[in-house]
Amino acid sequence: MSKLRQFAGKIKEWIVSCCKVFYFRDIADDPASFLTKDRYKSLKIKIFLLSGILAGVPLIIVTIASYLWLQSNVKEDINNQVKWQLESTSQSIGFLLEEKLSALRFLSATYTYDQVTNKKVLYSLFVNFKNEFGELVDLGIIDAKGIQRSYAGPYQLEGKDYSGQDWFNEATVRGVSVSEVFMGYRKIPHFAIAVRREIPGKNTFWILRAVIDMETLQRYLSTINLKQDDDAFIITREGTLQTPSRSHGRVLEKVILPIPIPQQGVSITEMMMDDQSRFILGYAPIRNSPWFLGAIIKSTAYSKLFGIFRSGLAVFYLVGLLIAIGIIVNLRISFTIVNWIREAEQKREEAIVETEHTGKLASIGRLAAGVAHEINNPLAIINEKAGLMKDILQMSGDFPNKDNFLAQIKAISDSLNRCRTITHRLLGFARRMDVTPIETDINETITEVLGFVEREMLYRNIRLEMNLGDKIPLVLSDKGQLQQVFLNIINNAIDAVNDGGLISIGTELKDQDTVRVTIKDDGAGIPREALKHIFEPFYTTKEKGKGTGLGLSISYGIVTRLGGTIAVETETGKGTSFSIEIPVNKKIA
């Protein structure tokens, strides 16, 4: 159980580290709350994993199938190479033995026993034989009793008894013999080739024997293409080494490995050592001899595949680079798709919010129009009565407090004029619901908007600095919506400054087609991390209960729809500046 928990812990650490690598910090920090924290990040991961699975699973299947196919081909290629080398080398050694046997048969048939027992004749034959074939060590004549009657060679072996030797008995029975490698009287590894020849009319025989050094066999083995850890040797059926082995002993030692001896053809077997490493064991019989040619090839398909991979390292680096590029592209596509979805949802939310806000403004406008009309009627009656009272007083003679009465009537008239201005503004607000573009004076529009907020500015002692351009042309736009934009931004400026602060409003002709309106304040400014979110719906930097987060979002949508642009510059502690650019003549959709 503890090991299972440790394994689960390692898996969790690996997932967390992968998340950190791909910048999914929220998963790494709090995997449980991730999905509820940001569904867009969850969607990015799902799209990335889905596309990765759809692209990766076929790639993995093809890679595994290709690897197995390559491994099978390499294995078959190695086996065929080993088989071909064993066959060719065993045939070469077989041809060597056949050549020597044929030469001995020819000599024994050409010369009589009396001739070859003559030392001069035998020595001449030995020299000619060695010059012709090269591998011969010595040449001897053995009688039917196994005694060497004549000898030509570097050793003193005349008169030696070979009656107890296996090769002598085999030659006596079969007529020919190729012995196993043995030490003999010479005390060096060698083997003998012997042929028997009958003596006509005497019912007896003699044997012509040639001795060949073991090094001759070793030279043939060197033609096999071997790697550093591979091995090739000649053994007998009993497993006795006839040539030295790199890893399994010296000449005449027993091979430790289990050896399947083939009856004919080449035997190829894949085996495993104690250290779990694999190797190929091959054997081929050598014709005309008691020997078998063996080979141990440790450069199996697995090691050769590694060599192929290592030699093609640049290709694998390229494949790895392409995979990395694929992952990056997959991430980019996933992020782009999710960003499209998020932008579409944000636009939908903005449209819903703006529709709701427009509906509310329409209701408020209709209410304001009704209120303005209802108030205008009694105001008109009061105005008429005040005028009548003024006329009566002026036509009357002097009486005490006449001037005081006239002053009071004038105060009533001034208040009526102020009420009339307010009702006209309410009616103007009601008419803002009409989105038909008209020729609009930007300076006049700003002045009208300031009439709504001048009381608050006076109450808080906020200074207003106006820099309205003189030659600002009329713009073809929606006056009511422009008023809403200016009102939202000026209200934000009022909320941003302290009592006694400064708000600057300016207009200028940027070029012949664009009017620029700049609204600055000396408030606290907007934090840099919040700057990229200020035009998002419901986002606000104000205290809770003081803002809905809709003003700038709606203003941005209105300005964009009217063909203009809105930009913001801010510096923490020094204030904020909004710049609205409005086209002079823009056809509104």
Same domain, 506 and 588: yes
* Window from 237-251, 316-330, 510-524 with minimum mean pLDDT: 316-330
Which residue's structure tokens are 């419901």? 538
- Of the CA atoms within 13 Å of residue 18, those in its CB half-sphere come to 9
Q: What percent of the chain has pLDDT over 90?
A: 16
Question: Of the residues 433, 466, 491, which one is the last residue of a structural domain?
Answer: 433
Are 122 and 235 found together in one domain?
yes
Q: Which two tokens stand for residue 333?
A: 């596509």
Using alpha carbons, list the distances in angstroms from residue 430 to 389, 421, 482.
34, 14, 14
- Please give the angle made by the CA atoms of 407, 413 and 415, to the nearest 5 degrees: 105
- Rounded to whole angstroms, the Cα distance separating 464 from 450 reads 10
Query: What would the DSSP string read from start to end of 464-494?
Result: EEEE--SSPPPEEE-HHHHHHHHHHHHHHHH
Residues 129 and 272 in one domain: yes
Residue 29 in any domain: the answer is no
When computed from its CA atoms, the radius of gyration of the chain, rounded to whole angstroms, is: 56
| Helices and strands (DSSP H and E) totals, the chain | 15, 16
Residue 325 falls inside a structural domain: no
Do residues 518 and 407 both lie within one domain? no
Would you state the torsion angle of the CA atoms of residues 344, 346, 352, 353, taken in this order, to the nearest 10 degrees?
-160
Q: Which pLDDT tens digit goes with each residue over 10-66?
A: 545 554 454 444 444 444 444 433 433 467 778 778 877 887 787 777 878 887 887
Q: Provide the CATH number for the domain around residue 391.
A: 1.10.287.130
* pLDDT tens track for 464-492: 999 998 888 999 888 878 888 898 889 88
Residue 296 has pLDDT above 50, yes or no: yes
Same domain, 286 and 374: no
Same domain, 257 and 359: no
**End residue of a domain, out of 267, 300, 333:** 300
On whether both 292 and 389 belong to a single domain, the answer is no
- Nearest CA to 428 among 357, 369, 481? 369
Burial class (CB in 10 A: 0-12, 13-18, 19+), 212: buried
Q: Are residues 466 and 421 in the same domain?
A: no
Whether the pTM exceeds 0.75: the reply is no
Which pLDDT score, from 0 to 100, does residue 24 have?
43
Helix-strand-coil split of the chain, %, nearest 5: 55, 20, 25
Same domain, 101 and 223: yes
Residue 514 token pair: 């664009």
pLDDT at position 174 is 92
Residues 91 and 89: their CA atoms lie apart, in Å, by 5
Chain-centre distance of CA 211, in angstroms?
Answer: 68
| Span 183-229, pLDDT tens digits | 888 788 989 999 999 988 888 999 999 999 888 888 888 888 877 78
Q: Which residues pair with 516 in a beta bridge?
A: 508, 581
Tens-place pLDDT, residues 398-418: 777 777 878 888 878 877 776
**Inside any domain, residue 326:** no
> Does 581 reside within a domain?
yes
Domain of residue 426, residue span: 344-433
Same domain, 87 and 193: yes
Identify the band that residue 306 occupies on the pLDDT scale cut at 50, 70 and 90.
low
Which helix (H) or strand (E) element contains residue 574? none
Min mean pLDDT across 148-152, 248-252, 323-327 is at: 323-327
* CATH number where 189 lies: 3.30.450.20
End-of-domain residue from the set 382, 411, 433: 433
**Is residue 242 assigned to a domain?**
yes
The C-alpha atoms of residue 440 and residue 585 are separated, in whole angstroms, by 11
404 and 280 in a common domain: no
Are 245 and 184 spatial neighbours (Cβ–Cβ below 8 Å)? no
In a domain, 313, yes or no: no
Evaluate whether 507 touches 468 at the Cβ level (below 8 Å): yes
- Count of domains forming the chain: 3
pLDDT at 19: 46
Q: List beta partners, residue 182.
A: 190
Residue 227 inside a domain? The answer is yes
Residue 399 and residue 441 share a domain:
no
Look at residues 233, 229, 238 and name the one whose alpha carbon lies nearest to residue 220: 233
Q: Is 13 exposed, middle or buried (0-12, 13-18, 19+ CB in 10 A)?
A: exposed
Is residue 571 one of the residues assigned to a domain?
Answer: yes
CATH number of the domain that residue 443 is part of: 3.30.565.10
